[in-house]
Amino acid sequence: MASVHDGSDLMSALVEVAKGSTLPKAPTGIRGLDEITRGGLPRGRTTLVTGSAGSGKTLLGLQFLVAGAREYGEPGVLVTFEESAEKVSANVASLGFDLDALQRDQLLVVHAFRVDPADVIETGEFDLEPLLLLLADSIGRVGAKRVVLDTIEVLFGAFREQSIVRAELGRLFRWLEERAVTAIVTGERGDSGLTRHGIEEFVSDCVIVLDHRIREEVSTRRLRVVKYRGSAHETNEYPFLISAFGFVVLPITSVALDYGAPEERISTGVARLDHMLAGGLFRGSTVLVSGAAGTGKTTLGARLIDAACTRGERALLVLFEESPDQVIRNMRSVGVDLRRWVEAGLLRMWAARPTVFGLETHLAILARLIEEVAPSVAVLDGIASLTHGPSGAEVTSMVARQIDLLKVRGITALATTLGHEDETSTVGVSSLVDTWLLLRNVESDGERNRLLFVLKSRGTAHSNQVREFILTDGGIELVDVYVGPGGVVTGSARLAQEAAERGAKLRQVEDLTRRQRELRRGIVEGEARLAVLRDELAAEKAELERIDARAERQAADAESARSAMAVRRWADSAPCDEAPRHEAPRHEAPRGEAPRGGARSDGGRR
């Protein structure tokens, strides 16, 4: 079964050096530069750093020495050919580099070696012995492992013959290599080549070119490793800057795209939007909110921050168009109080006009803020403003680096930008984000209303329905839109439609209630009639029973009377199964007289 990291392994195989012994390297202590060089400068060899005036050559060399002394236990030697030792120390003191303290601690030696071109005679008598003796003494005194020579043109500027310059440079580099010191030699950029003499790159093991360019009145700095003998390295141009923290090479994006993909979801701060996104955003994902001005993009970002701070998480808000106080005031009008989170130390707000700094400076500032704040949620508001000046490709590249920086750190990020009606974003990074929300203004019935669409959400089901986006005193509300013959109905038309539907439902309820009353009344009346009928039926049954009982009594009385009469008449008992015989009534003769018409019943006996 294939591994989920096969792509990363393949990428590594393409960019890594062949298997075998690796070249020993000395870390520079400059974050980003060590990543570009894959570990630092070649240990025990010489590196040439070239660039125009003010490009940062001297600062790179000084930071290399300071980092070696402070972080890696490698003392160093600085030889400057242009400035005094006191001036060099004063120049870098504002960056937190205390060269005097390092010298007192025997971790650094600083020499100002002056060369007067008038004293240089190309007869072969001039050589580097004074410089080499100075270097040997300094290296032995502190046990130096690192050396910086700044700037080499001053030393060899008086030589007109390129063969002499090349020979002396080769001699200098061999001497440094024999002492097993890692050296940096700085040089001025030439008009037609990398250096003024055009030959230094042929006698050094590593060449780094610094470029300082001005475009649209905005300065930008670039660094490129042109040559690195015995080691693979990155070959592209990388932005860098000189800041209050020294020489800073911007974070390198992940070549293999190997950042994690957590399954945990977090709330956007809008419950119904969470429902549209099947439970919220994936932690560590990136959201793009695009739309025209005034559609509510910043408010969505503020709701995400408010939800994160409510959970006790730290958040970062970077503003390119408004001041922090203005955003705090504006968000309070829609029920979001950001000031309480700032005062609680959970929210850091940073604002600057995009044109104040170059693109690389903005990226470096973001990286520094991430290190200082360690947020779980970050909002970049108004990144479309970065397009004022630089080319679109440069802005897209920088924003892509910002997105990659946030994703590598596992930070859930939301970026707002101006959008177009054709569902494209101004900065052109919609394909790089995980979720894309589109806010759109629609005009109908003499008013403008907002709509929200979920254009995409990677890795999760999401709603394809349009929602009306309403900003109220209590926050954001997403409500269903109505689709009529003329299309989507929003705003006042939606309210009128809702009122009409409520009226129709009310009438329906009233009709149902009236019908229920009628049915209940009919049931009551029917039950009453049924009760009367039951009473009548019971009375008739009782009357029938009385009649039957009276008839039985009458029959019994009649039978009793007949039996009594039969006894009085001396009638024979008739079998119970025979019908009684009806005899003619007989008249009893008077006592002493025989019955008429026959003899006595006793046969004439007395």
Per-residue confidence (pLDDT) for residue 164, from 0 to 100: 73
Distance separating alpha carbons of residues 465 and 282, to the nearest angstrom: 20
pLDDT at 308: 96
What is the reported pTM?
0.68
What is the per-residue pLDDT for 573? 54
Q: What is the pLDDT of residue 423?
A: 65
Query: Residue 191: phi, psi to the nearest 5?
Result: -75, -35
The β-bridge relationship of strands 412-418 and 281-282 is: unpaired
**pLDDT, tens digit, for every residue of 144-199?**
999 999 888 777 766 666 777 777 778 888 899 899 999 999 988 766 666 666 66
The predicted-structure confidence for 249-280, as pLDDT tens digits, reads as follows: 875 554 456 778 899 999 999 999 999 999 99
pLDDT tens-place string over residues 332-360: 999 999 999 999 999 999 998 877 777 77
Q: Residue 94's pLDDT is what?
A: 81
Closest C-alpha among 97, 89, 81 to residue 188: 81
C-alpha dist (Å) from residue 28 to 59, 69, 229: 12, 11, 17
- What pLDDT sits at residue 119? 55
Residue 604's pLDDT is 41
* Residue 192 pLDDT: 63
Strand partners, 265: 282
Three-state SS letters, 388-412: CCCCHHHHHHHHHHHHHHHHHCCCE
Residue 477: strand pairing partners: 470
| DSSP state at residue 354 | G
Residues of the chain with confidence (pLDDT) below 70 = 1-21, 115-127, 157-161, 190-203, 216-218, 251-257, 388-392, 420-428, 483-488, 571-606
In the chain the domains, ranked by start, together with CATH numbers, are: 23-249 (3.40.50.300), 265-480 (3.40.50.300)
Nearest-angstrom CA–CA distance, 401 and 359? 11
Q: What's the pLDDT score for residue 597?
A: 44
pLDDT at residue 126, as a whole number = 53
Q: What is the pLDDT of residue 589?
A: 47
Q: Return the SS3 of 241.
A: strand
